[in-house]
Structure 1
Amino acid sequence: MIEILRTNDAVALSLAEALLQSAGIDCFVADRHMSAVEGSIGAFQRRLLVDRDVEIKARRTLTEGGLGPYLRESPV
């Protein structure tokens, strides 16, 4: 899996998950519980991961949904 988004913004993360799910793209939110444990001081951001084979589709979906500024740079 590859990280395509990292944020402390719970609303943006929720929107990203919904957009990907509606496009049929499986995703995983890493560090969801760690960021809750640390008290929301922003030390640990949540990371959104997708399979490498759907990375381009996922990035396009999130960009079209208005989340382009939240995307991590592609390693390719």
Structure 2
Amino acid sequence: MKDVLRTTDPTQLAFAQALLSGEDITSFEMDVHMSVLDGSLGILPRRLMVANRDHFMALAVLRDNGVDGIVE
């Protein structure tokens, strides 16, 4: 698995997941429960992961739709 997005904005994560789902790319959100460590301040970014075979296409989909926080 490779990460394609790192952000602290939950709406941006939901948008990115919807875009990827629309292209039949399965994604997995990591670091969801890290808010316990940062005291629910939202300072630790969450990562959106995709399978290695979908990495290139996922980056293209997110980039074409203007999503910020893309990891290249």
- Which TM-score band applies after superposition, normalised by the shorter structure? 0.7 to 0.9
Query: Counterparts of 1:18-29 in structure 2 under 5 Å?
Result: 18-29=18-29
| Residues in 2 aligned to 1:15 and 1:33: alpha-carbon distance in whole angstroms | 19
Gaps of 5+ in 2: none
Instruction: Provide TM-score, normalisation by structure 2.
Output: 0.87
Gaps of 5+ in 1: none
Measured after TM superposition, the shift of residue 41 of structure 1 is 4.0
Residue 40 in structure 1 maps to residue 41 in structure 2: yes
| Residues in 2 aligned to 1:40 and 1:57: alpha-carbon distance in whole angstroms | 32
Q: Let me know the Cα RMSD of the aligned residues.
A: 1.2
Do the aligned partners of 2:20 and 2:61 also contact (CA within 8 Å) in 1?
A: yes
Partner of 2:70: 71
Q: Aligned in 2, Cα 1:2/1:40: closer, same or farther, shift over 3 Å?
A: same
| Corresponding residue pairs, total | 70
Measured after TM superposition, the shift of residue 49 of structure 1 is 0.3
Instruction: Provide TM-score, normalisation by structure 1.
Output: 0.83
Identity %: 36
